[in-house]
Structures are given as structure tokens and as C-alpha cells.
Amino acid sequence: MLAIFKREFKAYFTSPLGYVFLAIFYAFSGLLFWIFALDIGSTDISSVFLMMFLVLMIFVPLLTMRLLAEDKKQKTDQLVLTAPVSLLSVVMGKFLAAYLIFAMGVAVMPVYGFVMSSFAEVSWLPILGNTVGMLLLGGIFVSSGLFVSSLTENQMIAAIGSFFINLLIMLIDTLVGAVPSGIIKDILASISVYSRYSEITNGIFSLSSLIFFLSVIFIFLFVTVRVLEKRRWA
Amino acid sequence: MIEIKNLTKRYGSKTAVSDVSFCARENEILGFLGPNGAGKSTTMNILTGYLSSTEGSAIINGIDILEDPVRAKKLIGYLPEQPPLYLDMTVTEYLKFVYNLKKCKLPQRSHLNEICELVKITEVKNRVIKNLSKGYRQRVGLAQALVGNPPVLILDEPTVGLDPKQIIEIRSLIKKLGKNHTVILSSHILPEVQAVCDKIVIINRGRVVANDTAEKLVHNLSGDHKLVVRAEGNPAEIKKLLSSIPNMDEVRINKENVEPGVSEFFLNAKPGADIRREVSKRLASRSYPLLMMKSSELTLEEIFLKITTGDIHGNIKDDLGGEIMPERSERRKK
């Protein structure tokens, strides 16, 4: 797992991909921070975090599109899958590599807190909570992207596919509003990632949200392992 | 060491490999031969745990690849048809990655250096794989298979894309490796298999059609003892002279005046009889110069065609309707 993790992580910086992703992350978060906090003179940066949902939804697929699709295309999966490592550690290695890049992006968020603290008193707890929330959200996007990447050998399709999955994840919340009350509405409401995330950005950090996010990540990783497993039998 | 039993692989309704069984003993080089699309790569992919079989089993050192894949894979070095290279890494980086991936315990630096020396990639060690030629990539692929010094090597067409000198080098390397590794080598190049392998398995359309040593294959299939002889002198007289040899079944003039005054004869002796000495002595006694004598046993190439196309004489029509082995077909017509 460590070998795969290290290789994938390094690969982000031998190609422009890692730099591009981090640049986009920093640029957009900086822009949003300026618009929603600095420019209007507010120390509440939760709306910055909320808006970042859209940015991440679109750009995390860039990070994950390559992971398994390229292996399949270049036939390097023949090396990885015939090496004495389990499928789970292959998937985890790749997931963690992409996730670490993502986390390097998120690491900029507390910096904005420091920037603000030079202007006014800052309440650190919501910033920290929001950062953790963003890390959890990123876990979902990275794992969903990894999953889509396992389905195809075309990176573009992987990127677009995972963008649509992320879009779907967001639209579930809109559906909740459109569906008349009843059991379907309840189900949709309970699986809405967006409403849970906005809950966190509003400062409500519950254990159930934490478990919810971790379970979604787990499900995507699990399905990814199954896809790799199934490929052997195809 | 390696045991394949009744292996079958179906893709939907298409059967890629059907009921393939063979085994390779320890320190044996097994040549896996077949035309393109015969199922060689599929079999190798199953053997290395990349694919799984629909039926049957592949056992490596007593470990079933399906039951305990991690332990079985530890024993195998695999060079797939297309070397699995990460193009954005340098050769050293790549080999280090493979070293870590295989959880290798040997001392890293000396082990990797040794492999680089062995497959002669030391001079490109620090170059990015993307910029290497096909031959070098192939050798890096081979190096990758050798990392960790696994007792079983599975090489899918290891000499593809190499120049003639490199082919010879790699072949002798494989021979050397075969002294303390079990090697399965696939190829559709017959002389290669003949030169390197102890044992040959020929596969066609997913089925094993022959499984024996090279010599035995040649011997069994060519049947009785046949010679082609060229001698200078009056063909009719020579024919008469040779016909009187004991155990001789048939003497035929194959071609007169192959060179001025020289004729070619086709001799068919009784099974098991060795008439070569007698032929030479008799011609010498009458001062007919003997210019050529060769066994007309089928070459492996001909056997291969015979088995895979079902044509006894191994003739293949090329696109223009000509025949690739005119000499043989001519003989048939006579």
C-alpha cells in the first residue's frame, strides 16, 4: 500500500496535475474568501466553505480521473494486480495519495483565519469545524472519483463521470424540496450530503454526520474494490 | 512446480482457453507456443492471477492462485505482453517502486544494480522510461519481473521488439535464468522456443495440441527415416546404386541438375534404420561426389504448421496464391 501511495503521490508532481489542482484550490478559496469575508468585512467564513462545495465538486475529479483509468490503459494494472498485494491496499494506496493532495489544498483554509485575525477577533472553533467538514466532504468526492476511475480506461470519461456523480450527490438535496412529504422525502433527506455539509458549515457538528460521511467514503471504496475484483472474472 | 489443470476461460459465449492442462517442473524452461490469438496471454494472465479462470486451477508450488493469491503471486515474476511501465518515472524510480510493491527483502541497492547489469539497462538507469526505445522498455519490463528473485518467471513474448543482437542476449539470459528458475515463455517464434526451451506446449484455438520436448516432437511427427541427398553423376546409375542398400524402401530422383551434373535424391528407409554411412560409402566407392545429405525430418516450424493448420505438409498459401514453402509442395506433387 505504501509503495502505491508513494508512487501516486509523486506522480501528481511529475505531471502538472497536482500543481494545477492546488493552484485552482488556492485561487478559488482565496477569491471566495475575499468576496465573502474580507470585502464585506465579516469574520464569518462559513459561506466560503459552503461555496467551496461547488468548486470541489467540479475539480476533485481532476485529481482522481487518472488513478485507476490510466493503469488500465497503460496496462500497468498487470503489474499492480499481479504483485503480492491485496486489492484493498491497491485501492487504499491510490485513495490516500489523492486524498493527501486534497488535504494539502484544505490546509490553506486555516490560513485565512490567521489573515482575518490581523483585522479582528476570530472564533477559531467554527473554522476548525468547517475545515474538518471539508476534509470529510473531500473524502466523498475523492472516493467517488476513484470509483468512476475504476470503471473506465478513459481519463476524460472518468473525470466527467465523477463530476456527474458529484452533481447527483448535490442534487439529492434539491430533490428533497421537490418531493412531497412521505417516506421518499425522508430517505432523500437522510442521504443528502449537501444538507449535512451545510449543517457543518453552520456550526452543527454531530456524530451522526461524521459517521454518515465516513460510511459514504467506505461504500465508494468498497465498491471500487469489487469492481477490480469483478474485472478478473469478466 | 507449476501445475495447470483443465483450465478454461470463457468470455461470455466465446471460449478463449479450453481445458488446458500442463505442468512445468522446477528449473525447467517451458515454451508456450501458438499462433496469435491462440490463448497464450490469457493462460498466462490466469496463471499470474490477473484474470481468473472459469474452470480449472493453476497451482504454483502447491499454492492455488485463486485460494491464496498473495502468497502465490510472491513466487511469480511476470512480464506481460506489453511491459507494465509507468512512463513518467525513471528506470531506477520504477524499479524501486516495484521493489517496494513486491515487499522485497533483499538489499535494495545491490539487488537492483545486479538486475540492471543482468538485462543491460545500467546505462539508461536515470532516464525517464517515456524516452526509452521499445527494446529498452522491453528490458526494463524483464528487469521488473526479476525484482525479488522469484522462483517462477512467466514471460509473455520476452524478445518482441528487440534487435537481433539483443534477442540473442536475452535468450542466453533466459537460458541462464532457467538453471535456477522455472520459466514459462510464450512465443510465436519457433526457433526461439527451440533454442531456449526444454519442453514445448503448443496451443491452438485455446486447446493444447502438443506437449513434449522439442526433439520428441520433431521425431514423433516426422515418422520414418528419410534423407535428402545430393550427388554428382548419372542420376539413373546413382539411383540404382542406392536402391541396393539394405533396408532401403524407396529411392526417388527429386530433381535433376540442381547444379550442373548434380541431382537430388529422396531416400526413404525402413523405420529405425540408419542408412547414412552406407549411402556415403557406396557413393565414395564409385567416386560419385556426395555434396549434401540431410535428414528430411520435419523442422519444428513444419510441425507447428502441421499441428495448427492440420496440413500434413505444412504448406501455407500466401495472399498471392503462391506457396511459402515451394520445395516441400513440389515434393508432394511428385
Residue B238 lies in a domain: yes
Do B170 and B202 reside in the same domain of the chain?
yes
DSSP string, B101-168: HTT--S-HHHHHHHHHHHHT-GGGTTSBGGGS-HHHHHHHHHHHHHTT--SEEEEESTTTT--HHHHH
Interface A-B: count of C-beta contacts within 8 A: 72
Nearest-by-Cβ selection for B73 from A2, A77, A82: A82
What is residue B219's predicted lDDT score, i.e. its pLDDT? Answer: 64
Backbone phi, psi, residue A115, to 5°:
-60, -45
- Identify the domain boundary among B219, B237, B254: B219
pLDDT, mean over chain B: 83
Distance CA B271, CA B249 (A): 9
Residue B285: exposure state from Cβ atoms within 10 A (0-12, 13-18, ≥19):
exposed
How many structural domains comprise chain B? 2
Beta strand residue intervals within B157-302, DSSP E: 182-187, 199-204, 207-212, 226-232, 248-259, 262-269, 290-295
DSSP-assigned letter for residue B26 = T
CB environment B191-227: b (16+ within 10 A), e (fewer): ebbbbbbbbbbbbbebebbbbeebeebbeebbeebbb
Do B194 and B238 reside in the same domain of the chain?
no
| DSSP-based three-state secondary structure for B58 | strand
Nearest-by-Cβ selection for B50 from A4, A14, A82: A82
pLDDT, mean over chain A: 91
DSSP-assigned letter for residue A37 = I
What is residue B222's predicted lDDT score, i.e. its pLDDT? Answer: 53
Distance CA B273, CA B169 (A): 39
Nearest-by-Cβ selection for B84 from A2, A11, A78: A78
Distance CA B174, CA B197 (A): 9
Residues 6+ away with beta carbon under 8 Å from A92: A1, A5, A221
What is residue B298's predicted lDDT score, i.e. its pLDDT? Answer: 63
Q: Which residues of B touch A4 (CB under 8 A)?
A: 101
Do B196 and B259 reside in the same domain of the chain?
no
Do B160 and B206 reside in the same domain of the chain?
yes
Tell me what the mean pLDDT of segment B223-251 comes to: 83
Judged by CB atoms closer than 8 Å, whether chains meet at B50 and A78 is answered as yes
Do B212 and B161 reside in the same domain of the chain?
yes
Residue found by looking up cell 531506477 in the block: B92
pLDDT in tens, A137-174: 999 999 999 999 999 999 999 999 999 999 998 888 88
Tell me what the mean pLDDT of segment B88-96 comes to: 94
List the single residue in B with minimal CA-CA distance to A15: B88
Put simply, whether A230 touches B (Cβ < 8 Å) is no
Which A positions 55-84 lie with beta carbon below 8 A of chain B?
74-84
List the single residue in B with minimal CA-CA distance to A85: B70
Count of other CB atoms within 10 angstroms of residue A80: 24
Backbone phi, psi, residue B227, to 5°:
-130, 150
Judged by CB atoms closer than 8 Å, whether chains meet at B101 and A85 is answered as yes
Judged by CB atoms closer than 8 Å, whether chains meet at A232 and B78 is answered as no
State yes or no: ipTM above 0.95. no
Contact B20, B203 (CB under 8 A): yes
Judged by CB atoms closer than 8 Å, whether chains meet at A78 and B45 is answered as yes
Judged by CB atoms closer than 8 Å, whether chains meet at B48 and A82 is answered as yes
Q: Is the pLDDT of residue B313 over 50?
A: no
Q: Is the pLDDT of residue A43 over 80?
A: no
Do B9 and B59 reside in the same domain of the chain?
yes
Q: Tell me the whole-structure pTM to 2 decimals.
A: 0.82
List the single residue in A with minimal CA-CA distance to B79: A79
Q: How confident is the model at residue A191 (pLDDT cuts 50, 70, 90)?
A: confident
Nearest-by-Cβ selection for B84 from A75, A233, A234: A75
Put simply, whether B199 touches A (Cβ < 8 Å) is no
Of B252, B282, B246, which is closest to residue B267 (Cα–Cα)? Answer: B252
Do B256 and B278 reside in the same domain of the chain?
yes
- Identify the domain boundary among B189, B219, B249: B219
Tell me what the mean pLDDT of segment A105-110 comes to: 92
What is residue B218's predicted lDDT score, i.e. its pLDDT? Answer: 65
What is residue A206's predicted lDDT score, i.e. its pLDDT? Answer: 85
Residue B54 lies in a domain: yes
Judged by CB atoms closer than 8 Å, whether chains meet at B89 and A7 is answered as yes
Distance CA B208, CA B190 (A): 16
Contact A116, A25 (CB under 8 A): no
Tell me what the mean pLDDT of segment B154-175 comes to: 88
Residue B35 lies in a domain: yes
Tell me what the mean pLDDT of segment B129-139 comes to: 91
Domain of residue B48 covers: 2-75+151-219
Higher pLDDT, residue B308 or B200? B200
CATH code for the domain in which residue B23 is found: 3.40.50.300
Of B61, B46, B1, which is closest to residue B203 (Cα–Cα)? Answer: B46
Nearest-by-Cβ selection for A3 from B70, B87, B97: B97
Distance CA B46, CA B42 (A): 6
Q: How confident is the model at residue A190 (pLDDT cuts 50, 70, 90)?
A: confident
- Identify the domain boundary among B181, B202, B219: B219
Do B211 and B157 reside in the same domain of the chain?
yes
Q: How confident is the model at residue B299 (pLDDT cuts 50, 70, 90)?
A: low
Highest mean pLDDT among A144-158, A194-208, B161-175: A144-158
Residue found by looking up cell 506522480 in the block: A11
Residue B12 lies in a domain: yes
Q: Which residues of A touch B127 (CB under 8 A)?
A: none
Task: Provide the percentage of residues in chain B whose pLDDT is more than 90.
Answer: 29
Which B positions 123-182 lie with beta carbon below 8 A of chain A?
144
Distance CA A193, CA A203 (A): 16
What sign has the CA pseudo-torsion A127, A133, A139, A142?
negative
Do B8 and B66 reside in the same domain of the chain?
yes
Nearest-by-Cβ selection for B52 from A6, A10, A233: A233
Do B233 and B215 reside in the same domain of the chain?
no
List the single residue in A with minimal CA-CA distance to B48: A82
Q: How confident is the model at residue B97 (pLDDT cuts 50, 70, 90)?
A: very high
List the single residue in A with minimal CA-CA distance to B87: A74
Put simply, whether B85 touches A (Cβ < 8 Å) is yes
Residue B210 lies in a domain: yes
What is residue A125's predicted lDDT score, i.e. its pLDDT? Answer: 85
What sign has the CA pseudo-torsion B67, B71, B73, B77?
negative
Which grid coordinates are listed for B65?
492462485
Q: What's the gap in Å between the CA of B7 and the closest CA on chain A?
A: 14
Q: How confident is the model at residue A21 (pLDDT cuts 50, 70, 90)?
A: very high
Q: Is the pLDDT of residue A176 over 90?
A: no
Do B171 and B192 reside in the same domain of the chain?
yes
Q: Is the pLDDT of residue B316 over 70?
A: no
Q: Is the pLDDT of residue A127 over 60?
A: yes
Whole-angstrom CA distances from A129 to A133, A206, B136, B269 are 6, 11, 52, 95
CATH code for the domain in which residue B236 is found: 3.30.70.100
Q: Which residues of A touch B11 (CB under 8 A)?
A: 234
Do B208 and B243 reside in the same domain of the chain?
no
Q: How confident is the model at residue B39 (pLDDT cuts 50, 70, 90)?
A: confident
Q: Which residues of B touch A234 (CB under 8 A)?
A: 11
